[in-house]
Amino acid sequence: MVQESRIRVLIAKPGLDGHERGAHVVAYGLRDEGFEVIYTGLRQTPEQIVSAAVQEDVDVVGLSILSGAHLSLTRKVMEGLKAKGANDILVTVGGIIPEEDREALERMGVGGVFTSGSKIKDIAAHIRTRLGEMCPHEEENRGLFTEGTQATAGTGHEGQ
């Protein structure tokens, strides 16, 4: 039978921040890039996000945070994923992220920070590239890699 595989992404809004514009735009955009996007809606606890990421067997978790609570919330999600043995999932963070926090996020293991002005195409390309690096042997299993978009310079991001 014909194999069909899709990159699966969980777009999640942890914490109480209710600004969904960025999350919505990225969710629509990645769907149109051929990804299967699971959107959690507002006010997700880190536990809910981790549990969704595991059950949905996603390749990527994209956290959208505009409240300034990105460091503590991201840390909790990373720890939760690790506890479930799911720290191979690529985690990206989008929103209002001051430049000086980027490094702290990357140290936690975040594999992409996208702030205001990022393009969906760049985010998608970044995800494809990172997934390709993380598990090259699975590359042929992912139909999408044949499209072979390379990440271009610049960071993606989301509007507020």
Partner 1 sequence: MEERMETLIREMKNGDQRSLARLISCVEDRQAGWKDVMKSIYPGIGKACVLGITGSPGAGKSTLAGEIARRFLDRGLSLGIIAVDPSSPYSGGALLGDRLRMRDISTNPGVFIRSMATRGALGGLCQAARDVMRIMDAAGKDVVLIETVGVGQDEIEVVSASDYVVLVTFPGQGDGIQAIKAGVMEIADLFVVNKCDRDGADVMASEISAMLELSSEAGQERPPVMMTSAFTQEGIDDLCGVLSEFINQKKARGKPQRDHVRNEVLGLLEREMVGMLRERIMENGKLESALDAILEGKGDPYSAAEELMARVHLVRSRPGERKEDTRG
Partner 2 sequence: MKDSRKGIEKAAEKWEAEILKPRVKRFNLDRSPTSFHTPLSCDTTHFLDKVGFPGQFPFTAGNNPFDFWKAHAKTAALFGFRPDWGGAGGVGKYGGFGTPADYRDYLLRMQSMGRKGGPNIAFDLVTQCGYDSDSPYAEGEVGRVGVAVSSLRDFSIIYEAYTGELDIDKVPSNFTINAPAAVIIAMYACLAGKRGIPLTKLRGTPQNDILKEFIARGTHIFPPRPSMRLFRDTCVFCRSHMPSLNINSIGGYHIREAGATRTQDLAFSMANGIAYVEAGLEGGLAVDEFAPAFTFNAFGGSMEIYHEIAFQRAARRMWAHIIRDRFGAKDPRSMTIRQPITAHIGCSSTTLQRPLNNLARAVIGGMGAGMSGGIPGAFPPFDEPLGLGHSQEAVQLQLDATRIMIYEAKVADVCDPWAGSYFMESLTDETEEQALAELEKIGNMGGAVAAIENGYMPRAVAKSAYERQKKIESQEEFVVGVNCFVDAHEIDVSINRGVEATYDPELKRTAEERQKASLAELKRARNGKGVVASLKNLKDQARDQDKNLMPAICECVESDATLQEICDVLREVFGEAQPVKL
Residues between 53 and 82 that touch partner 1 (CB under 8 A): 54-57
**Residue 49 beta carbon to partner 2: minimum distance, rounded to whole angstroms:** 14
Q: 3-state SS of the chain?
A: CCCCCCCEEEEECECCCCCCHHHHHHHHHHHHCCCEEEECCCCECHHHHHHHHHHCCCCEEEEEECCCCHHHHHHHHHHHHHHCCCCCCEEEEEECCCHHHHHHHHHHCCCCEECCCCCHHHHHHHHHHHHHHHCHHHHHHCHHHHHCCCCCCCCCCCCC
| Interface pick for partner 1 out of 40, 64, 74, 115 (rule CB under 8 A) | 40
- Binding site partner of 115, from partner 1, partner 2, none, Cβ cut-off 5-8 A by kind: partner 2
From 29-37, 70-78, 102-110, 127-135, give the range in contact with partner 1 by CB under 8 A: 29-37
- Residue 85 or 107: the one with the smaller Cβ distance to partner 1 is 85
- Does the protein bind partner 1 through residue 37 (CB under 8 A)? yes
In the complex, what is the shortest distance from the CB of residue 9 to partner 1, in angstroms, rounded to a whole number? 9
